[in-house]
Amino acid sequence: MPDETRETAEAPEALAALFNRRANAGDVEGLVALYEPGAVLAAGRVVATGHSEIRSFYTDLLARRSDFPAPETLPPLRTGALAMTFARLPNGAFSVEVAREQPDGTWLWVIDQLKLAPPKA
């Protein structure tokens, strides 16, 4: 059941800003809430499907990192109830996501492909 007090994405381009605020706040459940229940997240060699696996991924990520700089975002590509969103981080990592409009008019990610930044030499 959604948390009625949590801000929702009223447009697909709002998802990246919500992600950034929630990640910096250490809000794992808030990050999971940005995804549909059966969403797929791929990051490097990790593929997480569904809220439980996505929760595990973000629990691990937030345990290792506490600073998430604001991403550069591009306008989404939209067709009907689907949108492709894009974000690039200052460290060179980038992500491409597919978001879907929900029956209540909010947007959630369905697919999230994160390309991690190359390791520093």
Q: Render pLDDT for 50-71 as a digit per residue (tens, 0 to 9).
A: 999 999 999 999 999 878 888 8
Name the nearest CA neighbour of 12 among 118, 110, 117.
110
Residue 41 neighbours by CB under 8 Å, 6+ apart: 35, 47, 48, 49, 53, 54, 57, 112, 114
Q: Render pLDDT for 18-31 as a digit per residue (tens, 0 to 9).
A: 999 999 999 999 99
The beta-strand segments (E) located in the chain are: 35-43, 46-49, 72-79, 82-88, 94-101, 107-115
Domains of the chain in start order, with CATH, are: 14-115 (3.10.450.50)
- What's this model's pTM, rounded to 2 decimal places? 0.90
**Cβ distance 55 to 63 under 8 Å?**
no
